[in-house]
Structure 1
Amino acid sequence: PYMIVFMNKCDMVDDEELLELVEMEVRELLTEYEFPGDDLPVIQGSALKALEGDPVWEAKIIELAEALDNYIPEPERDVDKPFILPIEDVFSISGRGTVVTGRVEQGIVKVGEEVEIVGIKDTVKTTCTGVEMFRKLLDEGRAGENVGVLLRGTKREDVERGQVLAKPGSI
């Protein structure tokens, strides 16, 4: 497991030695529970002072972001396998059609591709006419992403939670 520690509210402590002592105790506690306490980044900062624009504490937030970029590896995604998205929710958007949402387990779905709705009911073929993630329209949805997929000609009542959106013939 990968972890980064951010010790917040350090602006409220005047004694530098006390902060060092707390950091040592945090590292010892992490080591006791079989985390790499001596190796992982520990950043001392103040989120409030950074938000208020204090350049010393803003630099600590930048240091935290750099630690996230450098220390936490990017998760491996199964983009080479056939597309599969377990359906978590279904919405009807007037004038647009039916949207299914969920986390893409593997593969990639692109706008314009044919997909199947599999499970519970009879398998139905449809076409992906849009992919959206956090209110942004995308050209594709990739493994590991939570997306909404707009389906052509599919009625809300024809799809339900628990079904799977998949590449045709893959399930």
Structure 2
Amino acid sequence: IDKNEVERGMVIAKPGSVHPHTKFKGQVYVLKKEEGGRHTPFFNGYRPQFYFRTTDVTGVIKLPEGTEMVMPGDNIVMEIELIAPIAMEEGLRFAIREGGRTVGAGVVTEIIE
């Protein structure tokens, strides 16, 4: 592989060892206002940026059945669908960002597709 073929955010791995995915479940902690997070709750369909390693991609959040909103300070398992595939595996940590600030942190708990 030539150096000019690699860009920030790319993953170099042995062929077949890492697979790109778009849909997963994640255990997420939503930062409180005092921690620099959101001041208001978010709802189903919220579309923040997800940061994995050194790359970021927009994703859509699907809350668990019966959960209407997520408040700052909450811990929750949610389903996330990214608009572009990312190389990931269970246990991979990610940050959730909005408007240039981190509003949550999570870990991939289950790959869906």
TM-score by length of structure 1 reads 0.34
Larger Rg computed on CA atoms: 1
Q: Per residue, is there more strand in 1 or in 2?
A: 2
TM-score by length of structure 2 reads 0.48
Higher relative contact order (CA 8 A, sep 6+): 2
